[in-house]
Structure 1
């Protein structure tokens, strides 16, 4: 049995970024610091009252579930507000146009659009992989159809 002497707790906010989906978020932790009679120090990390691994050990992205996550220094997002997670977008309510003569004379109302956060990354990834593959396949077809057929004639 080890007797723990004094202890104290601190609150730490850790900002993270997922390197897969580029989501940025913050998590708040309570860190309990203890020392025993032999001078050994122990930290217990809590998130929402539950003991968890330290933030540098296996953090998972809440958006896509990836474990390829990096963290920023404490207070980094306060100094760089452009990186802060955006507030959840609430779509505006648009009145439904009435049927009949009144609706025909007014302008058409569009449905509100909410931006897709992961779409630009997926599109760039598709282009980055698809273009080289298409060029390679095109070259192989050209080489097999044109160059090889001229050599055999």
Structure 2
């Protein structure tokens, strides 16, 4: 297992490699790096960040993550609002439905904009076109 960190987005991940040591006919040792049985480049050459796609990546020594458990991502916590809603649904009592925020935001911003446009049209088309 090799631990990598992207130096752009700080994403941390592990990749599993298998290394085979092979000797040729002349006694020279060669390492063959495999991922899922497919020959690949060694981890220190050409690794790409799976999060942002940048090749500016660093690697850590083997076993680094085991010695630094604070880097292991924690499981996603359950949302706090889900527990009361689930308990209310189990009792058969549901809270009243609310309008979604984007609709409220559209109304809150749209009404003043419509008022301003209406005033400007009135001012430019009627008042200035027919001066007293």
Fold agreement, TM-score > 0.5:
yes
SS at match of 1:77: helix
Which aligned pairs between 1:46-65 and structure 2 lie closer than 5 A? 46-65=34-53
Work out which of the residue numbers 103, 116, 129 in structure 1 matches 2:95.
103
Instruction: Give 1 or 2 for the bigger CA radius of gyration.
Output: 2
Partner of 1:120: none
1:89 aligns with 2:89: no
Q: Residues 1-150 of structure 1: matches in 2 within 5 Å?
A: 13-84=1-72, 86-87=73-74, 89=76, 92=79, 94=82, 95=85, 103=95
Q: Could you list the per-position Cα deviations for residues 89-135 of structure 1 after superposition, in whole angstroms to 9, with x for gaps in the alignment? A: 3754823888xx9736xxx9xxxxxxxxxxxxxxxxxxxxxxxxxxx
* Runs (5+) with no aligned partner, structure 2: 99-132
User: 2: distance between equivalents of 1:74 and 1:63?
Assistant: 22
Deviations 1:4-61 (A, max 9, x none): xxxxxxxxx1111000110111111001110023121111111111111000001011
Distance 1:21 1:73, change over 3 A: same
Q: Which aligned runs of 4 or more in structure 1 are off by greater than 2 angstroms?
A: 87-98, 101-104
Distance in 2, matches of 1:30 and 1:63, equals: 23
Structure with greater strand share of residues:
1
> Aligned residue pairs: how many?
90
Instruction: State TM-score, norm by structure 2.
Output: 0.58
